[in-house]
Chains A and B, each alone.
Chain A
Amino acid sequence: MSRPTDLVQGTLDLLILRTVARQPVHGWAIAKDIERRSGDVLQVQQGSLYPALHRLEQQGWLQAEWRETDSGRKAKFYSLTRAGRRRLEEELSGWERLAAAINLVVHAS
């Protein structure tokens, strides 16, 4: 297994918001989803997810509720609020600008 790429500073919020935007989901599933979709390149230190989740919840971008999972166990499911959706768009456009800028620099002949 190749060495996991460190998360670009400040992108964890973006990843979480994007993941949660698809459907209400609990913390472990967020971590797994990020790993799976990035082809195991992005490996979140799973624990570091939780301070971020709670911060986003405090800021009013996420809301949480306790629900039963498929296996019948209670888990805390996060979903996006209206403010969270706006925030996601801001973060996305910010990221795209950054990525484009880096591309320009890297691929310049």
Chain B
Amino acid sequence: MEAELAEELRFHMDQEVEEQLAHGVPPQDAAARAHRRFGSPAQIADETRDEWHIAAADRLGRDLKYGVRMLARSPGLTLVAIGTLGLGIGATTALFGLLDTVRFRNVPAPHPEQLYAVERTGPGDNLGESVSALLFRGLESGPPVLGDLAGYSFRVDSLAGESDSVVTQLTSDHWFDVVGVRPVGGTAWLPANPGESPPLAAVISDRLWHRRFGASTDAIGRTLMLDGRSLTVTGIMPPGFTGISLEYPVDIWVPLALQPQFDGASRLTDGSLNWIRVVTRLRATDGGDAAEAAASLLLARLRQDGAVTSDSAERMALVPAAHPELRGRDEVARTLFLFTLLAAAVLGIACANVANLQLARGVARRRELTVRLSLGASRARLVAQLLTESILLAFAGGAVGLVLSGGIRRLLLTIAAPATSGRTTGLAVPLDAWLFVFAAGLSILVALAAGLAPALGATRLDISSRLRESALSVTNRTGRRALRSLLVGQLAVSLILLTAAGMAGRALRDVETLDLGFEHRNLVQMSVDWRGFAPAQTRADATAMLDRLRNFPGVTGASLSNPAAFGRSTFSTTAYHVAPDYGTVPHSVELASVSANFFSTLRIPILRGRAFSEGDREGAPNVVVVNQPAARLFFPGEDPLGKRFAFMGPDRMVEIVGIAGATRPHSATADPPAIVYSPIAQDPPGLPLGELSLEMRMQGGVPSLDRLVALQGVGSGLVVRAGRVDDLLSQSLALQRLSAVTTAALGIAGLCLAMIGLYGLNAYLVAKRTTETGIRLALGATPQGVRWLVWRQSMVPVVIGLALGVTFSALTAMVFRSAVFGLSRPDPAVVAAVAIMMIGAAALACYLPALRASRLNPAVALRAE
């Protein structure tokens, strides 16, 4: 096309020259005349080209080439710009990815919006996602308005031949139909007829199928040894499906009716322990309220019948099932949302840096641009060209950011969850198309934010004055004002970021040093698995093991508890007492069945009364120790010692013999739960004795698991794991630690970027004012004077920015209070410390350019123009 045009124009000229010659014009003049009649061929060609539709694409290609060349001309600046943008985009994308997973990504099932968790609700503690087996059966056979219901419960089991434990889901027969995900290989098990024993069947995940059976087609019908029980594989779930919980990626689904085989004691007809989670599929779009009412009614009726005793819940609630069991999901989502905003703020700082860079370049290229404008280039053309550079920068930054975001995410998850905990593995979703789109969109925004204003500014038409302008004239006012206001914003934002980081760090320290109500240092918890053994045998074996343990070197105290004292599984049950005015009042409480020396081993203070003794055995009067929150719950304003109430059954009266201090055994950030301690020797019949734990008070280090495993020979139990309680607790602080580390990292990144921007801008301004400075020095200004002048001028926006930041940091503190535990008020000490630190850093960043200005040689400087 280009060649054709050239040939067309050349033909025209040749014709014209020939004609001139034919008219007798001397050859030396003919070409010139032809030229005059034709006009400038280059210009004509240009105008013609503009008529082509493909011109746009062609121009883009040329702009890109030109942009790359301009960026390559200052590789240092370009790399810094790409790096900072990459960091900003990477952090934002990583956090957004986490937020997206937690908040917006739904249950991996068809029509997830129809799925609801059926939960107990009402005032009081210890309500939650699980219901008792009796209530579940009632719901299952309830009215159709409740939808298609299924129950399930998670277990962590050891699978023969696997070093790590696997998550098993006890699953009611309809679960696959309700969730809508069925095995793709084989089938789910067939429900057993009434009276028959349930099938020893297992459906396995695709990944377990690959791991255990090498994806072999004959896996169906083979057996798995799960916790010593042999199960037949009947089906394989679709690839990537690990259940509907982020928290528990399930590998094995087994019939719910197998629970007694796993736990020894049956909980299938029990109305006092809550252990089954319920999910329902409501096909009607507005059936939620009716279903809630029906479920609540059912609960009330069952309680009236005395069948369900575990429940102080007032009513049932339907909660959208998007990962219903990720308790505190809202809290996590809110925190992550804030972090995403903070990361976006860092990205904003990075944008401002790049915008400053482009502004500065625009000023430097002003003469070039002005010349091109005066030669007739259209402004739109030049803006497009300048924007192309920003887009190049932004997309390079976006690419770097995408690469970084994966690493950043992994890093965050590692910090949040030490390797021992599998809690967050569900969050480690890989980079997908959606995140890619997010990063690309972010890059475009960045390009516009960082590039549009500088491009418009640099191409403002004011040709005559611009052409006359020289470097002697002070850099134009509007340009400088724009540079400075960007800087002010940057500094304000990074001060806010750092303040947030400081506050989150302080909050973490506060939480870590919080009084947990027991001595957590030098405490080891060992879990022993006794599932499948008779309770009497288990108790005898456990006691024997306890005696052996006491004689271990370094062990100064040992006790037994059921369930494990530190962990996430708790027994929740109901205590009733007869209040003079209200009749029988139910309270949901945690139950801990403990050995006599539990309190002394954990160093939980007995505030009044006594701890358990060896005399509190079967046959003796039933006694309990309640902790302070439980005492307040049962007998507000009264002396609880010696009071009696019904516990673990409506007729089983117990007497309070002691008041223990409040503890936070599960999470440092949760309020101390109401706990009723019962002597292990007085366990009511039917209390499952699955996984007991032994607590050891150590002197010195933790005995190795090998040595503890030597206890294996004692009795029938199987040592599952042992670990320092400190480590267990630190897992519960994962979110706090994540908050602190993320905000600190973002704050520091923001500070660095702002300082780079500050330094770069001042260095640039000083360079622009070389001539002015030279004149000042030549006229007798002292170097000190110049240094002070430059430094003072560059510190003005710093002070304004920091003042703004301090003002807004109070606001930030308020926002953060809701997301970070333990943060009760804006912390003036932190704000002051951050402000002082930033002033120091800024003073240095401004001093270096000032120093350079003062060292100018006036003779050289004046000749610079």
Contact = CB atoms under 8 A, between A and B. Distances in A.
Interface of A: 26-28, 31-32, 45-48, 50-51, 54-55, 58, 66, 73-76
A54 B43 CA distance: 15
B39 interface: yes
A58 B51 contact: yes
B39 A58 contact: no
B464 to A, nearest CB: 27
Interface of B: 4-5, 7-9, 11-12, 14-16, 19, 37-41, 43-45, 47-48, 50-53
A76 B10 CA distance: 11
Contact of B51 (A26, A28, A51): A51
Contacts of A28: 11-12, 15-16
Contacts of A32: 19
A50 B8 contact: yes
B434 to A, nearest CB: 41
Contacts of B5: 50
B44 A50 contact: yes
6 pairs of A and B residues whose beta carbons are closest in the complex: A47-B39, A47-B44, A28-B15, A51-B47, A54-B51, A55-B51
Contacts, number: 58
Q: Which of A31, A45, A54 has the most C-beta atoms of chain B within 10 angstroms of its own C-beta?
A: A54
A68 to B, nearest CB: 12
A98 to B, nearest CB: 25
A46 B479 CA distance: 44
B12 A51 contact: no
Given A51-B51, A54-B48, A55-B51, A46 B8 contact: no
Contact of A73 (B11, B41, B47, B52): B11
Contacts of A27: 8, 11-12
Nearest to B47: A51
A48 B39 contact: yes
Contacts of A55: 51
Given A27-B8, A50-B8, 6 more contacts: A28-B12, A47-B38, A50-B44, A51-B48, A54-B52, A58-B52
A66 B3 CA distance: 13
Interface SS of chain B = helix
Contacts of A73: 11, 14
A73 B14 CA distance: 11
A31 B44 CA distance: 15
Given A48-B39, A50-B44, A76 B11 contact: yes
B399 to A, nearest CB: 37
Interface SS of chain A = helix
A51 B44 contact: yes
A28 B45 CA distance: 15
A29 to B, nearest CB: 8
A66 B19 CA distance: 22
Contacts of A48: 39, 44
Given A54-B48, A74-B7, A47 B15 contact: no
Given A28-B12, A76-B8, A46 B38 contact: yes
A50 B7 contact: no
B52 A50 contact: no
Contacts of B52: 54, 58
A50 B50 contact: no
Given A58-B53, A76-B4, A50 B48 contact: yes
A50 to B, nearest CB: 5
Contacts of B12: 26-28, 31, 46, 50
A32 B34 CA distance: 13
Contacts of B47: 50-51
B235 to A, nearest CB: 65
Contacts of A76: 4, 7-8, 11
Contact of B39 (A45, A66, A75): A45
28 contacts: A26-B11, A27-B11, A28-B11, A28-B12, A28-B15, A32-B19, A45-B37, A45-B38, A46-B12, A46-B16, A46-B37, A46-B39, A47-B40, A47-B41, A47-B44, A48-B44, A50-B9, A50-B45, A50-B47, A50-B48, A51-B44, A54-B51, A58-B51, A58-B52, A66-B4, A73-B11, A76-B4, A76-B8
A9 B264 CA distance: 101
Contacts of A51: 44, 47-48, 50-51
Contacts of A75: 8, 11
A84 to B, nearest CB: 16
Contacts of B40: 47
B155 to A, nearest CB: 73
A21 B50 CA distance: 25
A74 B840 CA distance: 75
Nearest to B46: A51
B492 to A, nearest CB: 52
A66 to B, nearest CB: 8
A32 B16 CA distance: 9
A74 B10 CA distance: 11
Nearest to A53: B48
Q: Which of B8, B43, B44, B47 has the most C-beta atoms of chain A within 10 angstroms of its own C-beta?
A: B8
A50 B11 CA distance: 12
A55 B44 CA distance: 13
A27 B48 CA distance: 13
Contacts of B43: 47
A36 to B, nearest CB: 12
